[in-house]
A and B are shown apart, each in its own frame.
Chain A
Amino acid sequence: MNLNSIRQSICCSMIVGLMLLGVTTHAQVDSKTELVDFDTQMIPLLTKLGCNSGACHGSAAGRGGFRLSLYGSKPAADYEAIARQYKGRRINLNDAEKSLILRKPGGELDHGGQQIFELDDPAGQLIAKWIEQGAKRSGNQRIVKLDVGQASVIVNDLSKPVQLSAYATFHDGRRVNVTRWTRFEANDRAAIKINEVTGQAKILRRGRLMVIARFVSHVVPIEFIVPLDRDPVNLSKAPQHNFIDRFVYRKLRLLRLDPTELTGDDEFLRRVSLDLTGRLPTLEQIKAFRNNRSKNKRTEIIDQLMASEAYVDYWSYRLARQLRIRSLPGDKTGVKIYYQWLRQQLEKKIGWDKIAYQLVTARGDSHRVGSANFYRTTANPKLQSEFLTESLLGVRLRCANCHDHPLDRWTQDDYHGLAAILATTSQGRAVVDKPNAKIIHPVTGRPAIQRIPGQTKLNVDPSGGGRDALAQWIVHRENPYFAKAMVNRIWASFMGRGLIDPVDDLRATNPPTHPKLLERLTQEFVEHDFDLRFLMQLICNSAAYQRKTGNAKTLPAAKMFYAVASVRTLPTEVVADAIDDVTGVPQKYQSWPAGVRAVQVFDPNTPAVSLDILGRCSPGASCESSDGSDSGGLAKQLHLLNGELINQKLAHRQNRLRQAIKANRSTTQIVKEFYLRSLGRAPKERELKFWRSKLDHPKSKTDSQFRQKLLSDFVWSLLTCREFLTNH
C-alpha cells in the first residue's frame, strides 16, 4: 500500500469513528472538566497515529528536527520535546489551534508525514484540549499492565469481523477499556484488515495469524487460529509416540490439518543419521536397519547413534557454531583448547546448564582453560552482552543499546547493566576480574549500574561477583529463557522451525506456535538435568519427527504445525563430508591430517575455498537466522558445476564409481548402489527405467570412456540434486 491509500484509509476510518458514538473509551473527550493526562492519553495517541514510530519522529534522529522516544517509552523526554523544546514553539497556550503539533498533522502546515487527522477529529480535539488545559504533565498516572481479553482466538466464520479489545490496568488498580487508542498491528497485513477506530478485525486468510496490541510502552500479542475451510479431521488413529504428539495433534485438530503418515525406514534412517551425526547412513547401516525386525528399532537406532563418536563430533560442531568458536588473529591455541573442552563436555554428557555456568564464570589463561575463551568471542563488553544473551538466552538485546526495545521488555538500563557486569572481566588471553572497570550509560553519561537483565540492580560486592550472580541467574531452573532457548534451538534443528521462530528471538510478542508443548519440553529438559541427549531422543521418537515430508503443494500452515516433516538445507560442512563419503574420495583440509572431516575442522578460519563458496557460516557470525539457501548463489552453483569440489572427486582414479565399473557392475547395480549411498534409498521402478534409458546408451556398450562419462554425470546429478542437499 502506498502512502496515499494509507492516508485515505485513515481518513475514512476517522469518519467512521465519529459516527460510532456508542464506543466510549478512556481517552475520548467525554467530559469538559477531566484533565487530559500526558503519559496515559497523549502518548498512546502519538503511538496510535504512528508519530513516534521508527519511520517517523521515533527514529533515533527524529524527523524534521522533532524527535520522540520510540513508541513513547520515555514520556518525560517526549513532554520536553513537545512542550518545552525551542522555547515551547510547538505549543500555543493562548490559541491551542495555532499550535504546531496540531497544525502540522492537521494539514494546515506543510508536514513531511502529510495530513494525519482533521482538526475536529477526536485525535485533534484531544490534543487541543490538552493544550487548552495548559499542556501539563502530571506524571502520576502509570499503566502497569495491558491485557487483550483472549490472547488466542479461534475464528471459524470469516464473514464476521472480530472485535479486538484492550484494557489498561492503572497503578491504582483501575482497569479501563483503551481499545480506541490502542495500536493494533497485524503481522501479515494482507491477512487481517483492522479498523483503527473500532478495533474490528476482518480476517482474509486462514492459518495462524498474529496481531500485536500496543499501548504506551506495553505490547501484547493476540493469536488467531483460523481453521482451514474443510471438514474436521479424525486423528483418533494417528500414531502417538510420546507427549509431543498429543500437543501437536491438538493444534492440527483445531486447524483441521491432516498429518502425513510415518515415513519409511530408509528415509527415517537417513533423516535421523544426518540429524544426530551429520553423516549419511552407510550401506551396512542401511542393511542392518532393514533387517532388524524389532518393534523398537527406531528407538534403538536413535540410542545407538547418540552413543557414537560421530554424534560427539557433529554436536561439538553444532555447539561450536552456536558459541561462535574460532581462532583469533595470531592465536590458534585458544580455539583448540576451547573446542577440546566443549567436545569433552559432550563426551561426558555434561548438562547444558553446567556447560553454560562454566562459560559465564570462566577465569584463567585461555590457552589452558577452554571455557575462558568464551570471553574472547567479542571485542568489548557491549558486544559480549549481545552475544551472551543471543547464544545462551535466545534473546536479542541489541536494540536496547540505543533505545528501549520496542517489542520487548528490555530497556537501556538492562543492556548497559549487563555490559557493566561483563566489563569487569578482561577479554584478552588472560580472562581475569578487573572489578573497577566501568561502562558508560549513554543516557546518564555516568557509569552504568551492574544489573541482570530484567532484574533489579545487583547487590554484590564490587570485587567481581557480578559474573557469578549472573551465571546463577542464567542457569537457574526458573530462568524464563535459558532452558527454553536451548529446547527451542534443538527442536528447530530437528524439526526445521523453532516453536519460537527465529530461535534467537524469544520475547512476549513473538509467541510460540505450541506454548504448552514448549513448556512441557522445557520442564522435562530441566528435570533431566539439561541433558541434550534426553531432549533429542524425545524429539526423534515422536511421530511428529518421523512423518513424511510434504511436497510442492503443501500448505505453509501444515509445515508450521508439523502436519508434515520439514525439508531442511544441510549445513555446508555436512554436504562436503557427504560428497566425500559417496565418492569415496576424502577432502584434505589445509594443515589438517588427511581423513579429518569438515565437521571436525573446528576452526572455521581454516582456509577452504569450496566451503567458502558453498556458503559456510562466516567465522564469528551468528548463522541461525538464515536458512542458508541463499548463501553462495551463483558462485556456489558454478562451483558445483565446474569447480574442484565434485569434479576432482569424479575424476579420481580410485573413486567408488571407477571401482564399480572396474568390477564390471551393471548400470542397474551402479544406479542402485549410488542411490543408496547418496539418497539412502532404492530407486523406484520409473526412476530405474529413466536411468537405464539414459545410461545404457548404445554407444556406451562399445565405448567404455563414454559409459564412464555418462555414469559420472549421473553421480554428479545425485550429488547436486535437492534430495541430496537436504534432510527430509
Chain B
Amino acid sequence: MNQVNRRCDGVVRREVLRLGGLSAFGLGLGSFFRLQNVAHANLLRRTAAAKPKSCILIWLDGGPSHLETFDPKPDAPVEVRGPLRTIPTALTGVRIGECLPQTAKRMKDIAVVRSMTSTLGEHNFGTHYLLTGFKPTPVLEYPSFHSVGASVYDHVSTLPANIAVPHSRVGGGKFSGNGFLATKHKPFSIGADPSKGNFKVRDLDLYRGITLDSVKRRREFVNALDQFSNLDGGNGDAAFDQAFRLVTSKEAKAAFSIEREKSSLRKKYGLRTVGQCCLLARRLVERGVPFVTVNVGGWDTHENLKTRLKEGYTGAKNPVGLVPSLDLAFSALIDDLKERGLFDNTLVVVMGEFGRTPKLNTAGGRDHWPRVFSVALAGGGVAGGQIVGASDALGERPKDRPVTPSDLVATIYKLLGIDPALELTTPDGRPVRVTPHESKIVKELIA
C-alpha cells in the first residue's frame, strides 16, 4: 500500500516505477508488468528523446588490490610495497602498478579515485554497497545502479537493456541485481565465456536439429493455442515475444558474434575472458544496449599475489595474470570506443567490492581491506586525467577527500543523467531514493 501522497521533493516519479500500491488493489505485479510489456511491445524503436548514455561496468569480483593497480606505494616498506614495481603514467608525477603499462599511457582519459572508503569487508556486503550505494539491510535488497538505470531508461529493443557477460554471479552469488525492482530488470546473463572457442550465448542459438522454420511454426502454434484457450491474463507475453525476436533476428544475434571482430582487434583486447568480454560489451553498447556488466572473478587474492595478479601461472615469461589482462582490456576498450565515437557517451567503470590489506600476509597475499581502495572511471562525461583524493603513505586510509560507495553511485547516476534523488517505491509502498540522503556527488569527476 502506498502511504505517501505528499512528497518532500519535486521529483516526478515515472509511471513505470509506481509499483507499490498495485498489489493492494488486486492487480498483482505480474499482471502489471504484462500490461507494461504489452505497451512496450507496440513500440518498435527506442524512444527518440535525448540519447541516454551507456555504461560498461568492469566488475573485479573478489576485491582488487589497490596497491598493485591504481594506488601503489613505491616508497613504503617492502611488506607494504609488495613484490611488484611501479611505472610512470601520462600524468606527470602519477605512478601506477607495473602491470598496467597500456592503461598508464591513457591516463589522460581516465580518472582514478584513490580515496574510496567503505566499512564493509565481506564480499556480499561490499558488493551490495558498491553496486547499490546502500549498505545491506535484511529489510530490503536495493537494486544495483545498472538495474535502476535499465528501469529508468525507456529502452525498447530486441536486445535486453541490462546484460551481464559472461554471467551475473557476483559477491558469492547472492546478489540478484534487481533488488526490489521487477525481475525483468535483472541483468540478462549470457551464460557463456566469449574467450572460449565454442562461445555461444546460452539458449540463443537454435537447438540442434531445430530449424528456423520450426521456430516460426512453434510461435504460430503456441499463439494459436493461447487464442483457443483465451485464458484470463493471457494476452501476450513480452518476454516470449522478445525471445522469438531475438532468436529470429540476425541483426540482434550478430551483436553477440564476437568472431566477426578482426583478429587483430581481438588480440588487442587480450584473449582472456576479461578482454573478450570487454570487446563483446563494446559490440552491445554499439547496438544500443545501455548497461553491460563485465564480470571478472579471481580478485580475492589471499595468497600468491604475484602469481595471480601478474604472472598468471608460475614461471610465466609474459605476464598473463589478472592485472595485465585487465590492462589490455581496459585500454583497448578506451581506444575502441574513441575510434567509434562512442567514448563520450559510454561510461566505463572499473571497480571491485573493496581493496586489500596494505601489509602482505604470510601466504604472500593480501586480505580484505575496505577502508581505502581505488576506482577508475573513463568516458561518458568523466573528467579524465586526474587523481581524486589520496590514501595515506601506507595505503591504509584516505588521506583526503574520502569518497564513499554512496557518493560514487550518486556520481555514476549523475553522469548517466539520472537524478540521484530519484525515488522508487518498494513493493510494500516505501519510498526509497536511489541513493542514500547523505551521498554527495564527486563534482571533480564530472567534466
A interface vs B, CB < 8 Å?
Answer: 1-4, 6, 10, 49-50, 53-56, 61, 63, 112-114, 185, 187-189, 191, 207, 209-210, 212, 382-383, 386, 396, 398-399, 401-402, 406-407, 497, 501-502, 509-510, 549-552, 554, 556-557, 559-560, 564, 566-567, 569, 613, 615, 625-644, 647, 651, 684, 686-687, 690, 694, 709-710, 712-714, 716-718, 720-723, 726, 728
Contacts and interface: CB of A to CB of B under 8 A. Distances in A.
Contacts of B211: 709
Interface string B240-262: 10111011000000000000000
B76 interface: no
B4 interface: yes
A383 B138 contact: yes
B6 A551 contact: no
B138 A55 contact: no
A641 B215 contact: yes
Given A55-B423, A55-B431, A185-B3, A63 B8 contact: yes
A723 B209 CA distance: 27
21 contacts: A49-B6, A55-B7, A113-B9, A187-B2, A209-B25, A210-B25, A402-B139, A559-B232, A625-B427, A630-B183, A633-B239, A642-B204, A642-B205, A643-B203, A643-B207, A647-B210, A651-B209, A709-B211, A710-B217, A713-B218, A716-B221
B243 A187 contact: no
A503 to B, nearest CB: 12
A642 B205 CA distance: 7
Contacts of B11: 3
Contact of A635 (B203, B206, B210): B203
Closest 9 CB pairs of A and B: A629-B30, A717-B221, A637-B243, A721-B225, A50-B6, A638-B203, A723-B229, A647-B207, A717-B222
Given A56-B6, A627-B31, A629-B33, 8 more contacts: A185-B5, A188-B21, A632-B239, A638-B203, A641-B243, A642-B205, A687-B228, A710-B217
Q: Is the interface of B mostly helix, strand, loop or mixed?
A: loop
A1 B10 CA distance: 11
Contact of A54 (B34, B183, B232, B431): B431
Interface stretch (B87-95, B105-113, B184-192, B315-323): B184-192
Contacts of B78: none
Contact of A720 (B206, B222, B427): B222
Contacts of B226: 721-723
Given A187-B1, A556-B26, A720-B222, A10 B231 contact: no
B124 interface: no
Contacts of A63: 8, 437
B114 to A, nearest CB: 29
Nearest to A6: B6
Contact of A628 (B30, B202, B215): B30
Contacts, number: 235
A554 B232 contact: yes
Contacts of B10: 2-4, 114
A629 B225 contact: no
Contact of B430 (A54, A714, A723): A54
A207 B139 CA distance: 33
A632 B160 CA distance: 13
Contacts of A402: 139
B214 A642 contact: no
A54 B426 CA distance: 12
A407 B1 contact: yes
A559 B205 CA distance: 40
Interface in B133-189: 138-139, 160, 182-184, 186, 188-189
A634 B210 contact: no
Contacts of A709: 211, 214
Contacts of B9: 3, 112-113
Nearest to A722: B234
A588 to B, nearest CB: 19
A634 B246 contact: yes
Contacts of A4: 10
Nearest to A712: B214
Given A626-B29, A632-B183, A398 B138 contact: yes
Contacts of B265: none
Contact of A718 (B208, B225, B237): B225
A396 B430 CA distance: 14
Contacts of A634: 160, 184, 188, 239, 242-243, 246
Contact of A721 (B8, B31, B222, B243): B222
B230 interface: yes
Interface in B58-93: none
Contact of B237 (A502, A510, A637, A714): A637
A554 B207 CA distance: 38
B240 A2 contact: no
A10 B4 CA distance: 14
Given A629-B31, A717-B221, A398 B139 contact: yes
A716 B26 contact: no
A728 B231 contact: yes
Interface in B407-447: 423, 427-428, 430-431, 436-438
B28 interface: yes
Nearest to B215: A641
Given A54-B4, A560-B26, A638 B231 contact: no
Most chain B CB neighbours (cut-off 10 Å) among A61, A638, A639, A709? A638
Most chain B CB neighbours (cut-off 10 Å) among A552, A626, A713, A728? A713
A633 B218 contact: no
Contacts of A551: 230-232
Nearest to B173: A618
A642 B6 contact: no
B115 to A, nearest CB: 24
Given A713-B221, A720-B222, A556 B27 contact: yes
B23 interface: yes
Contacts of B25: 187-188, 191, 209-210, 556
Contacts of B7: 3, 6, 55-56, 113
Given A559-B232, A634-B243, A717 B218 contact: yes
B43 interface: no
Most chain B CB neighbours (cut-off 10 Å) among A185, A566, A642, A712? A642
B159 to A, nearest CB: 10
Contact of A637 (B208, B220, B239): B239
